[in-house]
Structure 1
Amino acid sequence: MSLTAETISAALMDFRRVKEAIRRAVQATSKKEDFGSKFRTRALDIPSSIVTSGLLPTLTFYYAKVGSTSYQNVVALFEGKTKKVEPVEPDKFAYGACLFLVLRRLAELGFLEGAAPSEPLTCFEKLAQMEPLRLSMLLPRLLPYLLEIRKLSEAEFKPEG
């Protein structure tokens, strides 16, 4: 796994997006729960989960935890479309945000071939149909990015509890 300047830059930009989405999520809800701590926990877990369970099983698990409607609300928070956004529970936000970041990064790297991160089922289909050789090139490009997101989350957000 190599860490390039582009990887670090992408992680920094996306982490700023996470913080902005959290700000929007807090504004959309009356709860004072700590979205940052929940995100931190998920960001700490996702790299090891991908390595131990596999990319697609991890992503579908995260999708199951966030749910379709909440995921679309998380996407809207990231895209700044907060006028139509329903409040999202902090746990669901955390799962959805991590899923969105992974799918967004895979799209940026050219692994999703036209599938949008806002359409996770289409993204999952693309990943399931991917050639083994291409799939083997995916993780070495994704994991350094996720590890950067993880480190930034540890630095910026308090642990849960």
Structure 2
Amino acid sequence: MTISRIMIIGGPGSGKTWVASRLAEKYALPFYSVDEAVWDRDGKLRSDDEIDGRVRRMAAKDRWIIEGGNTRTYADRVQRAEAIIRLSPPRLLRLYRVLRRNGFRRDLVWWTLRYDGMFAGKDRNALSSGRATAKCIEIRSGRELSRLMRSGIESF
């Protein structure tokens, strides 16, 4: 089975972009980030309708890896995904990565610390609802991530 649509979700600093870029190379798939739909070129937040429309257009394509949040469009992606990967490393590791990548930005630190309480349930629901049609994988450790990158989605 050749996988042509992969959904990657998880909190800030979980490694979504890194994993998506590596899997895009491995599977020769175009890679899209939800952040591209959220922010315009000037760094301004788009409206909910515009964000949702952009993400839904990404998900309507034949081949993709889409990484990122926007839980309003999870159902659209889950419905079409052949694999759903939830990255869930420890919160302190995610916080460290966010601080290393972005420096101290109060909004990102707040978002990172609050993510699990606000969105982890929706992430787990995306995995549960996709199980009938997609390979669903939850990555919690570096060891699991190494195994995924080495062996691929099909044999995980």
* Structure with the bigger percentage of strand: 2
Question: TM-score with structure 2 length normalisation?
Answer: 0.32
Question: TM-score with structure 1 length normalisation?
Answer: 0.31
* Structure with the bigger percentage of helix: 1
Greater relative contact order, per chain length (Cα 8 Å cut-off, separation 6+): 1
